[in-house]
Amino acid sequence: MSEGPRFKVAFALANLTVVKQPEVPQILGLRESYLAGDTLNVTCKAMNGRPAPQIVFQINNEQIHEGSGRLIEYPHTRGNEPGLYTSEARLTMPLSEKLLHEFNLSCYAYTHGLSVKTHVRVPLSPRKTFLTYLLGRSG
Protein backbone atom coordinates (compact mmCIF):
# COMPACT_ATOMS: atom_id res chain seq x y z
CA MET A 1 0.00 0.00 0.00
CA SER A 2 1.25 3.45 -0.76
CA GLU A 3 1.66 6.10 1.87
CA GLY A 4 0.12 8.96 -0.17
CA PRO A 5 -3.39 10.33 0.28
CA ARG A 6 -6.33 8.58 -1.35
CA PHE A 7 -8.31 10.46 -4.02
CA LYS A 8 -11.65 9.68 -5.54
CA VAL A 9 -11.66 9.72 -9.31
CA ALA A 10 -14.69 10.68 -11.38
CA PHE A 11 -15.17 10.66 -15.12
CA ALA A 12 -17.71 12.69 -17.07
CA LEU A 13 -18.51 13.40 -20.68
CA ALA A 14 -19.85 16.69 -22.01
CA ASN A 15 -20.36 18.35 -25.35
CA LEU A 16 -18.62 21.64 -25.91
CA THR A 17 -19.81 24.01 -28.61
CA VAL A 18 -17.31 26.59 -29.75
CA VAL A 19 -19.05 29.82 -30.73
CA LYS A 20 -17.54 32.92 -32.29
CA GLN A 21 -19.66 35.98 -32.80
CA PRO A 22 -19.45 37.17 -36.42
CA GLU A 23 -18.10 40.54 -37.42
CA VAL A 24 -20.59 43.41 -37.73
CA PRO A 25 -22.61 42.65 -40.87
CA GLN A 26 -22.23 44.72 -44.03
CA ILE A 27 -25.15 45.90 -46.15
CA LEU A 28 -24.06 45.87 -49.80
CA GLY A 29 -25.81 47.43 -52.80
CA LEU A 30 -27.55 50.21 -50.87
CA ARG A 31 -28.16 53.43 -52.78
CA GLU A 32 -28.03 56.89 -51.18
CA SER A 33 -31.75 57.46 -51.73
CA TYR A 34 -34.80 55.89 -53.33
CA LEU A 35 -38.11 56.93 -54.86
CA ALA A 36 -41.40 55.31 -53.90
CA GLY A 37 -41.92 52.39 -56.26
CA ASP A 38 -38.19 51.66 -56.61
CA THR A 39 -36.96 48.19 -55.78
CA LEU A 40 -34.68 47.73 -52.79
CA ASN A 41 -32.06 45.12 -53.71
CA VAL A 42 -29.43 44.68 -50.99
CA THR A 43 -27.23 41.92 -49.63
CA CYS A 44 -26.27 41.44 -45.99
CA LYS A 45 -22.93 39.75 -45.41
CA ALA A 46 -21.84 38.47 -41.98
CA MET A 47 -18.26 37.25 -41.88
CA ASN A 48 -16.21 34.95 -39.67
CA GLY A 49 -18.74 33.41 -37.29
CA ARG A 50 -18.92 29.94 -35.78
CA PRO A 51 -21.22 28.25 -36.45
CA ALA A 52 -22.39 29.91 -39.67
CA PRO A 53 -24.36 33.08 -38.80
CA GLN A 54 -28.08 33.29 -39.50
CA ILE A 55 -29.09 36.56 -41.18
CA VAL A 56 -32.30 38.45 -40.43
CA PHE A 57 -33.47 41.64 -42.15
CA GLN A 58 -35.81 44.17 -40.54
CA ILE A 59 -37.50 47.25 -41.99
CA ASN A 60 -38.80 49.69 -39.38
CA ASN A 61 -38.32 46.99 -36.72
CA GLU A 62 -40.47 44.44 -38.59
CA GLN A 63 -38.74 41.21 -39.56
CA ILE A 64 -38.83 40.18 -43.20
CA HIS A 65 -39.77 36.49 -43.03
CA GLU A 66 -38.30 33.73 -45.16
CA GLY A 67 -41.66 32.79 -46.67
CA SER A 68 -42.30 36.32 -47.93
CA GLY A 69 -40.61 35.63 -51.28
CA ARG A 70 -38.35 38.63 -50.71
CA LEU A 71 -35.32 36.81 -49.27
CA ILE A 72 -32.68 34.63 -50.84
CA GLU A 73 -30.26 32.94 -48.46
CA TYR A 74 -27.02 31.80 -50.03
CA PRO A 75 -25.07 28.75 -48.83
CA HIS A 76 -22.47 29.76 -46.25
CA THR A 77 -18.83 29.89 -47.26
CA ARG A 78 -15.61 29.49 -45.34
CA GLY A 79 -14.38 32.47 -43.38
CA ASN A 80 -10.90 33.92 -43.15
CA GLU A 81 -9.71 31.23 -40.73
CA PRO A 82 -10.36 27.48 -40.42
CA GLY A 83 -13.66 26.73 -38.67
CA LEU A 84 -15.18 30.16 -39.36
CA TYR A 85 -18.04 30.82 -41.78
CA THR A 86 -19.48 33.71 -43.77
CA SER A 87 -23.20 33.98 -44.53
CA GLU A 88 -25.03 36.14 -47.08
CA ALA A 89 -28.70 36.87 -47.76
CA ARG A 90 -30.33 39.11 -50.35
CA LEU A 91 -33.45 41.21 -49.77
CA THR A 92 -35.42 42.34 -52.82
CA MET A 93 -38.66 44.27 -52.37
CA PRO A 94 -40.61 47.18 -53.83
CA LEU A 95 -40.62 50.33 -51.68
CA SER A 96 -44.13 51.59 -51.05
CA GLU A 97 -45.21 55.10 -50.11
CA LYS A 98 -46.00 53.78 -46.61
CA LEU A 99 -42.26 54.10 -45.95
CA LEU A 100 -41.99 57.82 -46.89
CA HIS A 101 -39.74 59.90 -46.06
CA GLU A 102 -37.19 57.49 -44.72
CA PHE A 103 -37.14 53.97 -43.41
CA ASN A 104 -34.86 52.03 -41.10
CA LEU A 105 -33.09 49.01 -42.54
CA SER A 106 -31.39 46.58 -40.17
CA CYS A 107 -29.40 43.44 -40.76
CA TYR A 108 -28.81 41.08 -37.83
CA ALA A 109 -26.34 38.21 -37.74
CA TYR A 110 -27.18 35.53 -35.13
CA THR A 111 -24.95 32.75 -33.84
CA HIS A 112 -26.22 30.65 -30.91
CA GLY A 113 -28.06 33.54 -29.26
CA LEU A 114 -25.32 36.08 -29.90
CA SER A 115 -26.19 38.84 -32.35
CA VAL A 116 -24.60 41.83 -34.02
CA LYS A 117 -26.39 44.26 -36.31
CA THR A 118 -25.98 47.01 -38.84
CA HIS A 119 -28.63 49.71 -38.94
CA VAL A 120 -29.08 52.45 -41.57
CA ARG A 121 -31.69 55.11 -42.30
CA VAL A 122 -32.61 55.21 -45.95
CA PRO A 123 -34.22 58.30 -47.56
CA LEU A 124 -37.36 57.58 -49.59
CA SER A 125 -38.93 60.38 -51.66
CA PRO A 126 -42.34 60.38 -53.34
CA ARG A 127 -42.27 59.64 -57.04
CA LYS A 128 -43.42 62.64 -59.03
CA THR A 129 -46.07 61.97 -61.62
CA PHE A 130 -46.25 63.92 -64.84
CA LEU A 131 -49.15 65.96 -63.39
CA THR A 132 -47.22 66.91 -60.23
CA TYR A 133 -44.26 67.75 -62.43
CA LEU A 134 -46.43 70.12 -64.51
CA LEU A 135 -48.10 71.65 -61.45
CA GLY A 136 -44.75 72.09 -59.72
CA ARG A 137 -43.30 73.96 -62.70
CA SER A 138 -46.28 76.25 -63.25
CA GLY A 139 -46.79 77.12 -59.57
- Asked, for residue 41, whether it belongs to a domain, the answer is yes
Q: For 52-105, how does the pLDDT look when each residue is reduced to its tens digit (9 = 90+)?
A: 999 999 999 999 998 999 999 999 999 999 999 999 999 999 999 999 888 999
- Asked, for residue 37, whether it belongs to a domain, the answer is yes
CA 107 – CA 61 distance, rounded (Å)? 10
Res 139: pLDDT:
43
Domain that holds residue 50: 26-138
CATH number reported for the structural domain that contains residue 76 in this entry: 2.60.40.10
- Looking at the structure of the chain, the number of domains it has is 1
- Asked, for residue 122, whether it belongs to a domain, the answer is yes
- Asked, for residue 21, whether it belongs to a domain, the answer is no
- Asked, for residue 3, whether it belongs to a domain, the answer is no
- Asked, for residue 12, whether it belongs to a domain, the answer is no
C-alpha distances out from residue 19 to 14, 56, 86, 110, Å: 16, 19, 14, 11
Q: Which residue in 126, 116, 59, 127 sits closest to 87, CA to CA?
A: 116
- Asked, for residue 5, whether it belongs to a domain, the answer is no
Q: For 2-35, how does the pLDDT look when each residue is reduced to its tens digit (9 = 90+)?
A: 677 888 888 899 998 889 999 999 999 999 989 9
- Asked, for residue 104, whether it belongs to a domain, the answer is yes
Q: Which residue in 55, 30, 36, 49 sits closest to 105, CA to CA?
A: 30
DSSP line for 2-64: -SSPP-------------BPPPPPEEES--S-EETTPEEEEEEEEEEEBSPPEEEEEETTEE-
